[in-house]
Amino acid sequence: MLAREAPFDPGFRCRKATVDLRAVILDLEGVWFDHGLHGTQNALRESFLSRGVELSEDETRLVEGDPHPMDATGKVGLLRDLCQKTEDRMREAAQGATDLALPNVTAPAWVVPSLIQTFDSEYVKTVRTSKPIQNATETLKSLKEAGLKIAVIADCNEEALEGFKLRAEYFGEGFLPDAFLSTRETSPKAPQPWLVFHLMHRLGVYPATSVVRVSSTASGIEEGLNAGCWTVGVARTSRLVSERADADIDGSISKQLSDRIKTVYEQLYRAGAHFVIDGIWQLPKVLNELAVYQRYSVLQLRAL
């Protein structure tokens, strides 16, 4: 017996294919704080100096990392990748060390745990002097006043996150986002979407199409896409550009920096970003464009 078609309901209507924007979920570093992620880069350099290896600016700027879903933070992948690339230099620096009798003393599996401890210690020191990116706090305040909920993903341990909160409250004159989440609190991590879902639940917002994920990394963009969010890449203030932390965003930039920014734009678009901007100060314009798109992409199905 053939299945019958369900009778068409002439009153059926899909009133909206999209919904109003309700929340912004952003990276702490490279989007709100630490223009160029120099805190991360300095901590990476100090970690390897403790093993007798001096890293170049390009090594700390361009390292991509090899993330594992169960890593405590994304920084572990950076340390692991750098450790593999500098294994020969680390072995050379270790000549004459008292622990050479131990097996594979310079192998990544042996060294990474101690590097993580040194990195965490050095990173907390950089947090104490960290500052928001120019106009970033003012932008977040304006978004919150406009009715959007703000959540922040911090790729660091709890001690560093508490330090960032104190700095954020100080520079924001009492302003704080609606939610913070350390990457240590949830596994697995980006590009899987669980951190985003965790924050959506905490904020009480849904569906994912009402959320904008803002990140300066390809994995952050992929995380937003996997969650079903709109995604905005941030290029100029990212680690891959590594512009001076005190750079004037309205000032002129060198050709070298301009080329770096262009490269990061391309990388973030290739990762799938719906929009890419220089920095968070341009986010309101993007959200306005997105709101217009949402308003005019209403789909209505009517009976003939």
Among 93, 127, 161, residue at a domain's last position: 127
Pairing status of strand 230-234 against strand 211-215: parallel
* CA separation for the pair 51, 7 (Å, rounded): 73
> Could you tell me if 115 and 27 lie in one domain?
no
**Low-confidence winner among 32-41, 55-64, 96-105, 206-215 (lowest mean pLDDT):** 96-105
Report how many domains make up the chain: 2
How far is residue 41 from each of residues 161, 206, 252, measured CA to CA in Å?
17, 36, 24
261 DSSP 8-state letter:
H
- Residue 87 has a CB neighbour count (10 Å cut-off) of 15
* pLDDT one-digit tens code per residue, 28-71: 999 999 999 999 999 999 999 998 899 999 999 999 877 776 67
Q: Is residue 94 part of a domain?
A: yes
Give 76-121 as a DSSP string: HHHHHHHHHHTHHHHHHHTTT-TTTTSTTTTSHHHHHHHHHHHHHH
> Could you tell me if 212 and 253 lie in one domain?
yes
Q: What is the pLDDT of residue 48?
A: 94
Among 107, 127, 147, residue at a domain's last position: 127
> Could you tell me if 120 and 231 lie in one domain?
no
Among 102, 127, 152, residue at a domain's last position: 127
Q: Are 219 and 190 in contact (CB under 8 A)?
A: yes
> Could you tell me if 181 and 224 lie in one domain?
yes
Q: Is residue 166 part of a domain?
A: yes
In this predicted structure, the answer to whether residue 15 has a pLDDT above a threshold of 80 is no
**Domain range enclosing 100:** 40-127
Q: What is the pLDDT of residue 295?
A: 67
* pLDDT one-digit tens code per residue, 147-170: 999 999 999 999 999 999 999 999
For residue 248 the two structure tokens come to 């004037």
> Could you tell me if 98 and 197 lie in one domain?
no
